[in-house]
A and B are shown apart, each in its own frame.
Chain A
């Protein structure tokens, strides 16, 4: 899957460099000079994001890391069309996501979103939750059931099709949420700290699972996390954001081919990338 098959190619690229990186012309997902300013009460404004430009190739796994409040969630929500950028462009497959005041439905169909919380609907069974996007697209009931069954198998929830979300553990719910996002074969997965609430062991397993799914489906993934190790483990590139206003500080390619096993975390090259990113993040802290 990875285009960066040479494990020795590890290094920090600056913003301009990354834009001109491989395949920038055929970007699946692109932000051009995106700003986001929130208007508060009495004319007070908060600059959440400034001048964000980022291109993500088809099939690439990109993580957004940074301290809390650096705007990584906002950035993801802008990519997914949940938040309008104050200025700049969001391009999906080369065409604008926003057409006037509405979003391009064709572009929306490419997205699968997973949030910090599973956000399953308690009134639907796991099966109906997973197939909800298909229901909204008018797929008939029999086909939906079939697809839900397949996806339950993919994420390891077979046997729980008829259960209600409350009967499942946190990890299982999050897997159901991933299955829901995958139900209509999105080419782009947007994930906002999907495993943040899970314990370390479950989290490791979910990361392996996610990696497997992303490789199997060939989806482009943008993944928000505050764990640097997680980001480096999963990603082709790690984007470090700095806060107030949120800007891209650095883009770091990770040169190990995907899929990776958990052992990769013990390799010197891997630890080197993690250490460098952590140092950069610490420097952020001193600026505060």
Chain B
């Protein structure tokens, strides 16, 4: 081949490569491309899809590994079954409990306590957060009290709640609500204050009315904070309800934990813990799902789709 021709060919190839690279790492705008924009977005979506299966594969592998090590530890080191039962025993206990109707009664009780406590915390947390976020003087006036209440380990109040509200579900609901209240209130307070100045200017420049400013600006920019608070609060609500059940009462999964402990029934203890874990996961997923539905535009939702 003629040298000049070959050189020209190489140059052409290099040029093509450069052009190709250019389309991938330049912003859609500089591709001269209204037409190419959506395409670029589609390839990005494909990349996300491709990496999405990873946790679905890794999670079972990790679980299997844990089970294997666990089984091995029990059989090799001869750990007493009172301390660490085998996975098989635990599995059996779980199945036994699931088949028992009374277990579901306990689940329903705990679920009710958590749900009601959480809802109460949400309502009070929203109101208190908005009020304190708006009235900065009030927040400053109450700050020492708020900090004091916050640093107190709130589970210490449970005996008090039992004295005041009895051994029934009420004291547990109040405990769950007390724990769930603070993360919601604090986040809402922050959210109310975090409306961007530039966004306010836009609404102000357009002469937006009070209601429109709330609907189109303040509410949507506060919602991510509300959900951040809710995600912490739902976990706290479960803790509050279960710890409440430990200390008083005769119902709920927390009570089952205490019963299993008193009977030195380790497999059942593990089984109840697994049920509690499942319950916690389920509730968290409900809140998280609500977040994805309500604020699909937010970074926390978009980022979670890009592992």
Residues of A within 8 A of B (CB): 80-82, 103, 105, 108-109, 111, 113, 115, 117, 119, 121-124, 132-133, 135-136, 156-160, 163-164, 166-172, 202
Q: Assess whether B206 is in contact with A136, with CB atoms less than 8 Å apart.
A: yes
* CB of B202 to closest CB in A, whole Å: 5
CA distance A171 to B37 in the complex (A): 14
* CB of A168 to closest CB in B, whole Å: 8
Q: Assess whether B202 is in contact with A172, with CB atoms less than 8 Å apart.
A: no
Report A-chain residues with C-beta under 8 Å of the C-beta of B216: 121, 124, 132, 135-136
Give the contacting residue for A123; candidates B41, B206, B220; CB below 8 A: B220
Say yes or no: is B205 at the interface (Cβ < 8 Å to chain A).
Answer: yes
Report B-chain residues with C-beta under 8 Å of the C-beta of A123: 220-221, 223, 295, 297-298
CA distance A121 to B216 in the complex (A): 9
Q: Assess whether A103 is in contact with B207, with CB atoms less than 8 Å apart.
A: yes
Closest 6 CB pairs of A and B: A169-B27, A108-B207, A119-B198, A123-B220, A113-B205, A169-B29
Residue of A nearest to B207 (CB): A108
**Which of the four size classes fits the interface of chain B?**
20 to 34
Residue of A nearest to B41 (CB): A167
CA distance A5 to B27 in the complex (A): 39
Report B-chain residues with C-beta under 8 Å of the C-beta of A156: 34
Q: Assess whether A122 is in contact with B297, with CB atoms less than 8 Å apart.
A: yes
Which residues, 14 to 33 on B, are CB-close (under 8 Å) to A?
Answer: 27-30
Which residues, 187 to 208 on B, are CB-close (under 8 Å) to A?
Answer: 196, 198-199, 201-202, 204-208
Residues of B within 8 A of A (CB): 27-30, 34-35, 37-38, 41, 196, 198-199, 201-202, 204-209, 212, 216-217, 220-221, 223, 295, 297-299, 302
Q: Is the interface of B mostly helix, strand, loop or mixed?
A: helix
* CB of A118 to closest CB in B, whole Å: 9
CA distance A169 to B40 in the complex (A): 12
CA distance A124 to B221 in the complex (A): 11
CA distance A111 to B204 in the complex (A): 11
Report A-chain residues with C-beta under 8 Å of the C-beta of B29: 168-169, 171-172, 202
Q: Assess whether A119 is in contact with B38, with CB atoms less than 8 Å apart.
A: no
Report 11 cross-chain contacts, Cβ distance below 8 Å, ordered by A residue: A113-B205, A119-B199, A121-B217, A122-B297, A124-B216, A135-B212, A157-B34, A160-B34, A166-B302, A168-B29, A171-B29
Residue of A nearest to B36 (CB): A159
Q: Assess whether B41 is in contact with A163, with CB atoms less than 8 Å apart.
A: yes
Q: Assess whether B38 is in contact with A117, with CB atoms less than 8 Å apart.
A: no
Q: Assess whether A105 is in contact with B206, with CB atoms less than 8 Å apart.
A: no
Report B-chain residues with C-beta under 8 Å of the C-beta of A202: 29-30
* CB of A112 to closest CB in B, whole Å: 8
CA distance A81 to B29 in the complex (A): 33
Indicate whether A81 sits within 8 Å of B212 (C-beta atoms), given known contacts A123-B220, A163-B41: no
CA distance A269 to B222 in the complex (A): 53
Give the contacting residue for B37; candidates A119, A121, A160; CB below 8 A: A160
Report A-chain residues with C-beta under 8 Å of the C-beta of B220: 121, 123
Q: Assess whether A82 is in contact with B198, with CB atoms less than 8 Å apart.
A: no
Q: Assess whether B198 is in contact with A117, with CB atoms less than 8 Å apart.
A: yes
Residue of B nearest to A162 (CB): B38
Report A-chain residues with C-beta under 8 Å of the C-beta of B196: 119
CA distance A158 to B34 in the complex (A): 6
Most B CB within 10 A of own CB, among A111, A136, A158, A169: A136
* CB of B231 to closest CB in A, whole Å: 19
CA distance A94 to B204 in the complex (A): 22
Q: Assess whether A136 is in contact with B208, with CB atoms less than 8 Å apart.
A: yes
* CB of A167 to closest CB in B, whole Å: 6
Report A-chain residues with C-beta under 8 Å of the C-beta of B38: 159-160
Report A-chain residues with C-beta under 8 Å of the C-beta of B202: 113, 115, 119, 121, 132
Give the contacting residue for A119; candidates B41, B201, B207, B299; CB below 8 A: B201
Most B CB within 10 A of own CB, among A82, A119, A157, A202: A119
Indicate whether A122 sits within 8 Å of B35 (C-beta atoms), given known contacts A111-B205, A172-B29: no
Residue of B nearest to A102 (CB): B207
Q: Assess whether A172 is in contact with B28, with CB atoms less than 8 Å apart.
A: yes
- Knowing that A123-B297, A136-B208 are A-B contacts, what are 9 other residue pairs whose CB atoms are under 8 Å apart, sorted by A's residue number? A108-B207, A113-B202, A115-B202, A124-B297, A136-B216, A158-B34, A160-B37, A171-B27, A172-B28
